[in-house]
Amino acid sequence: MNKGKQVLLVFLASDSGVDGARSLFEEQSEKGAREWFNRSIRNLIKQTQFAIPPLALMILASVEVKGVEQRICDLRFEELPLEQQWDLVGISVQTGMTSKAFSLADSLRAKGCKVALGGAHVTLFPDSCRTHTDVLVHGEADDIWADVLEDLKKGELKTDYFPGDFPDLSRSRPVSSRLLDKKRYFTTNIIQTGRGCPYHCDFCNVHILNGNRHRRRTINDVVDEVNRFSKHDSRIFFFVDDSINANEEYAQELFSRLIPLNITWFGQATTTLGKQPQLLETFARSGCRALLVGIESIEPASRDTHKKTQNRPTELAEAIINIRNAGISLYGSFIYGLDGDTLETPAAILDFIRMTKLDVPGINILRPNPGTMVFERLKEEKRLLFDPDDLTAYRYTFGQEMLYQPKNISLPDFIESYSKLTSEIFTISSSVRRGLVAPSAKAAVLLFNLFYTHLYALSRNDLKQQAKKSISLAPRDAADNFSRKV
Ligand code: B12
Ligand code: SF4
């Protein structure tokens, strides 16, 4: 029987971080018991991590075109199903994963399979992808994916598909989670209510990828989706919006309507929530248990330079205390090494964490991703440690390598002070303490802190090695550049 065109949608696993922490520089020399220990920890992290399914591929797989069957393959958990002949393989590409994406695309094409690339990296750097693919899908593909599938059926695939404008999210496009294997994920209840951001933080791509205007789905569509998803999976919901409180009125109405559904949920918000008492109460009543907030920096000079302009540093602590007092645990994400930071900054971060009792502190190194304003500035100022044209230098890691020269701190001093900071924050006893005092989601807070205790130990080791040996997977001259600067 002719089953119609067969389409596979692929999500890649990253080499480190959330997809299973591994050392960047020691891997090959690991032997015996140490190798076994590291592999076991990695598998444990992979299995118990907060692995969520790729929403982009859920959206594409939900596009129904008669005569086309789609399947999602998540390479974090399964092998590529090559026993079957695929008419088209779509791969989601993020900067940081380009080498993996391109080599997979090349090998599939060598076997005669047609490949379509889409995702953030394709939108930002289409030309870097061109030689690795048959089809490039630029931008948000919610609507144009149907055109690709229709053209596939007709045997008339084009090389480029452009959405024209950002899709109108108020048009109903129900997302289905039925193609996912529930057992693999922490939850399959992944929802996005809106896209776009009016701010311009210079280390972020979102305002470039999704535009400056905040577009929203209708509240009815989101409530329907929550109802539908919860019939299939009774676990927690994760709203992947960059800031779920971006529009106070919308969020107030949406989450009021979710109260009777009795769900629990995690999400990402701005600290402004601490100054929105009514919305904060509604979040707590609607089942919000934990939020990720981008604190980024408590140094006024860094916030100004990097255009993190929403909220003054003095208001941050108060906002965090208010949110925790409402019974919501907080993951607060910092970046140390911004242009206003000095060797005094770690002590200020430590004080801030102690004062606010932040449940999970995330202490990141700035990662100047190509396509961001900060990347362009560092390139101009000749502060990048790697060849700016080498996309493989921007692999996704977990604070494990330096990609740039901080402004006010020498590299060895920075590495030493960053390592000291993470070793003071992440210990087994502080993890247990944070888990015990967390206002909610205590087990998740404990687990996250324990994982980070392991991950940051890896980070310290890798940074030490990078500084010592000037090892780099980037080109030779870049490694020389690094050793010169160190
Ligand atoms: C949720 C999230 C995560 C989650 C979950 C990721 C997951 N498993 O899906 C977690 C917390 C794990 C995470 C981690 C990281 N993330 Co993240 N994350 C997000 C976030 C907030 C939402 C992603 C999402 O679901 N969006 C909704 C979907 C519908 O949008 P979309 O992915 O863009 O997909 C659309 C198009 O791109 C396109 N498309 C996408 N894939 C494909 C594939 C094909 C074939 C086609 C045709 C089209 C297509 O069509 C889709 C529908 O319109 C985005 C920000 C954002 N606004 O998107 C950042 C974002 C994707 N993350 C980013 C980064 C940098 C990271 C980290 C490196 C952070 C870090 N330092 O550790 C890690 C990398 C981990 C990894 N292995 O990829 C960057 C990527 C930038 C880039 N140039 O690639 C983003 C854009 C945020 C930013 N500040 O710039 N992330
Ligand atoms: S970091 Fe957050 S607030 Fe800043 S531009 Fe990105 S999405 Fe917007």
| 3-class DSSP assignment, residue 478 | helix
Site to substitute for ligand 2 among 207, 293, 369, most atoms within 8 A of C-beta: 207
> What digits encode the pLDDT tens for the residues 285-302?
999 999 999 998 888 888
Could you tell me if residue 119 is left (phi over 0), alpha (psi between -120 and 50 degrees) or otherwise beta?
Answer: left
Paired with 384 in beta bridges are 404
Please check the confidence at residue 9 and state whether its pLDDT lies above 80. yes
pLDDT above 90 covers what percent of the chain? Answer: 75
Q: State the pLDDT at residue 484.
A: 39
Ranges of H-type helices in 259-394: 277-285, 300-305, 313-325, 345-356, 373-380
Instruction: Indicate the residue among 161, 178, 212 that finishes a domain.
Output: 161
CATH of the domain at 366: 3.80.30.20
Q: Tokens 């959405």, residue?
A: 163
Please check the confidence at residue 462 and state whether its pLDDT lies above 50. yes
DSSP string, 210-230: S-SS-EE--HHHHHHHHHHHH
Mean of pLDDT values over 143-169: 97
- Ligand 1 near 116 CB (within 6 A): yes
> What digits encode the pLDDT tens for the residues 98-120?
999 999 999 999 999 999 999 99
| 3-class DSSP assignment, residue 336 | strand
Q: How many CA atoms lie within 13 A of 393 on its CB side?
A: 24
Q: Tokens 């690795």, residue?
A: 132
pTM listed for this prediction: 0.93
Q: State the pLDDT at residue 17.
A: 62
Q: How many domains does the chain have?
A: 2
Residues 235, 127 share a domain:
no
Please check the confidence at residue 73 and state whether its pLDDT lies above 70. yes
| 3-class DSSP assignment, residue 107 | helix
The residue whose CA is least distant from atom 6 of ligand 1 is: 54
Q: Considering the chain, what is the average pLDDT of its residues? A: 90
| 3-class DSSP assignment, residue 101 | helix
Does residue 485 fall inside a structural domain?
no
> What digits encode the pLDDT tens for the residues 29-67?
556 666 676 666 666 666 655 678 999 999 999 999 999
Nearest to 295 by CA among 250, 256, 329, 335: 335
Does residue 397 fall inside a structural domain?
yes
215-216 and 194-195 beta bridge pairing: antiparallel
Buried b (16+ CB within 10 A) or exposed e, 173-197: eebbbeebeeeebbbbbbbbbbbbb
Q: Quote the crossing angle between the two packed helices 248-258 and 219-232, to the nearest 10°.
A: 40
Nearest to 409 by CA among 324, 472, 343, 319: 343
> How far, in Å, is the centroid of ligand 1 from the Cα of 54?
8
Residues 379, 257 share a domain:
yes
Residues 236, 122 share a domain:
no
pLDDT above 70 covers what percent of the chain? Answer: 88
Q: State the pLDDT at residue 482.
A: 46
Residues 206, 143 share a domain:
no
Does residue 273 fall inside a structural domain?
yes
CATH of the domain at 75: 3.40.50
Please check the confidence at residue 13 and state whether its pLDDT lies above 80. yes
> What digits encode the pLDDT tens for the residues 194-217?
999 988 889 999 999 999 999 999
Residues 124, 204 share a domain:
no
Mean of pLDDT values over 180-206: 92
Residues 207, 103 share a domain:
no
Residues 401, 337 share a domain:
yes
> How far, in Å, is the centroid of ligand 2 from the Cα of 201?
6
Does residue 432 fall inside a structural domain?
yes
Q: State the pLDDT at residue 398.
A: 80
- Ligand 1 near 55 CB (within 6 A): yes
Could you list the residue range(s) of the whole structural domain that residue 276 is in? Answer: 187-469
Q: State the pLDDT at residue 183.
A: 87
Integer CA distances (angstroms), 323 to 276, 281, 342, 362, 378, in order: 10, 9, 29, 17, 35
- Ligand 2 near 207 CB (within 6 A): yes
Does residue 299 fall inside a structural domain?
yes
Residues 112, 42 share a domain:
yes
Please check the confidence at residue 473 and state whether its pLDDT lies above 60. no
Between CA 373 and CA 375 the distance in angstroms is 5
The residue whose CA is least distant from atom 58 of ligand 1 is: 206
Mean of pLDDT values over 390-409: 88
Between CA 342 and CA 338 the distance in angstroms is 9
Please check the confidence at residue 227 and state whether its pLDDT lies above 80. yes
**Per-residue pLDDT band at 377 (split at 50, 70, 90):** very high
Residues 219, 356 share a domain:
yes
Residues 131, 247 share a domain:
no
Does residue 474 fall inside a structural domain?
no
Residues 196, 314 share a domain:
yes
**Per-residue pLDDT band at 28 (split at 50, 70, 90):** low
Tokens found for residue 25: 């520089």
Between CA 84 and CA 189 the distance in angstroms is 29
Integer CA distances (angstroms), 21 to 27, 83, 131, 193, 430, in order: 11, 30, 31, 31, 21
- Ligand 1 near 52 CB (within 6 A): yes
Mean of pLDDT values over 317-335: 97
Please check the confidence at residue 478 and state whether its pLDDT lies above 60. no
Q: State the pLDDT at residue 27.
A: 56
- Ligand 1 near 222 CB (within 6 A): no
Please check the confidence at residue 349 and state whether its pLDDT lies above 90. yes
Does residue 168 fall inside a structural domain?
no
Q: Which has more pLDDT, 134 or 447?
A: 134
Mean of pLDDT values over 441-452: 93
Please check the confidence at residue 431 and state whether its pLDDT lies above 90. yes
Does residue 179 fall inside a structural domain?
no
Q: State the pLDDT at residue 38.
A: 67
Nearest to 369 by CA among 215, 197, 482, 209: 209
Site to substitute for ligand 1 among 22, 92, 394, most atoms within 8 A of C-beta: 92
Nearest to 100 by CA among 192, 19, 207, 206: 19
Computed over its alpha carbons, how large is the radius of gyration of the chain? Answer: 22
Please check the confidence at residue 390 and state whether its pLDDT lies above 80. yes
Q: Tokens 């045997």, residue?
A: 155
The residue whose CA is least distant from atom 89 of ligand 1 is: 204
Residues 205, 127 share a domain:
no
